[in-house]
Structure 1
Amino acid sequence: MKGSLFRITQAAILALTISAGAAVAAGGHGHAGHAMPAASAPIGKAGDPARVTRSIDVDMSDAMRFTPASIEVKAGETVRLNVRNAGRIRHELVLGSDADLKAHYDMMMKDPGMRHEEAGAISLEGGKSGQIVWRFDRAGTLSFGCLEPGHYAAGMKGAISVL
């Protein structure tokens, strides 16, 4: 009995290890193999902190809002978003197209334990602050949202107009 329980435990550990490794290999960040919205963001990419031309403060609140929810930047500008969670619960700011954010939000509803710490995303506990440095490479609109379950649907989203 002891031997078979040990073998079952070993097999379960091996299966979990292989499945976790496959998820990381496929997605690069442990999100069950799916891509982050910012990775396919139509406007911009991670910016060089040494080339930041200005900083913009963005607050997240438990009222499910970003302040400001509308931001304007110039094409070619590298901006530091100083993101602060003024609330008590976890919030995040994730950059992407509306379609990417909606699709990723649907995935978050199925796996609420996912966390975002990539170049175009930040997840913060209540009272914490962090930064995203982003280079806006061409004119258009880039959206952002909190993909924590219930938050995006409650209106926790905004847009960056790149002029």
Structure 2
Amino acid sequence: MNTKSLCTCAALALLAATQALAHGDGHGAAHHFDAAQVEPTAFGQEGDPAKATRTVRVEMSDTLRFSPDSISVRRGETVKFVVHNGGQVLHEMVLGTPEALKAHAELMKKFPDMEHADANMAHVKPGKNGEIVWQFTQAGRFEFACLQPGHFEAGMVGSVTVK
């Protein structure tokens, strides 16, 4: 097996493993916080909703843009994102490093019907809301993106600056 195939298999296994953290009907409301299941990442970790210090509302649209598309937070802050899909097609908000989002977008191109969910993402049906509660434990510049095929490539990306 070549390196590329091995990486693809590893990524698929990782994505399949995240099914246990699925967000229910596609918009995040069914997920329950369990501190014992929190796993740190390079851009933070799932946040405890009871410790959220503020709520940031994010709009997604069929113009393939987020509003706002730039957010600033303090290191250590737990933010509740309420994500609204004002469009007519499925959109999602996925938090991550630029490299991880790009790799995930490539995987989505190859497997467009792949179903997956994790604490750093909300899949939002048209006209619905989703939620992400995230604790930003690392300083730096991170991104959020819609990884539905073609959306990321069209520029449906925003930034989070953690100071």
| Shared fold (TM-score, shorter chain, > 0.5) | yes
Structure 2 residue aligned with 1:57? 57
Structure 1 residue aligned with 2:18? 29
Q: Which has the larger radius of gyration?
A: 1
Q: Percent identity?
A: 44
Structure 1 residue aligned with 2:77? 77
More helix by share: 1
Correspondence list, 1:126-141, <5 A: 126-141=126-141
CA distance in 2, matches of 1:41, 1:100: 11
Ranges in structure 2 where 5+ consecutive residues have no aligned partner: 1-11, 20-38
Call closer, same or farther: CA 1:151–1:41 in 2, change over 3 Å.
Answer: farther
Structure 2 residue aligned with 1:145? 145
> TM-score normalized by structure 2?
0.76
Structure 2 residue aligned with 1:86? 86
Give the letter for the 1:27 counterpart: A
Call closer, same or farther: CA 1:71–1:123 in 2, change over 3 Å.
Answer: same
Write the deviation string for residues 59-90 of structure 1: whole angstroms up to 9, x where unpaired: 10000000001000001100000100010100
Call closer, same or farther: CA 1:113–1:98 in 2, change over 3 Å.
Answer: same
Give the letter for the 2:122 counterpart: I
Give the CA RMSD over aligned residues: 1.9
Give the letter for the 2:16 counterpart: G
Where does structure 1 differ by over 6 angstroms across 4 or more consecutive aligned residues? Answer: 23-26
Give the letter for the 2:84 counterpart: R
Residue 155 of structure 1 and its aligned partner are, at CA, apart by 0.3
Structure 2 residue aligned with 1:125? 125
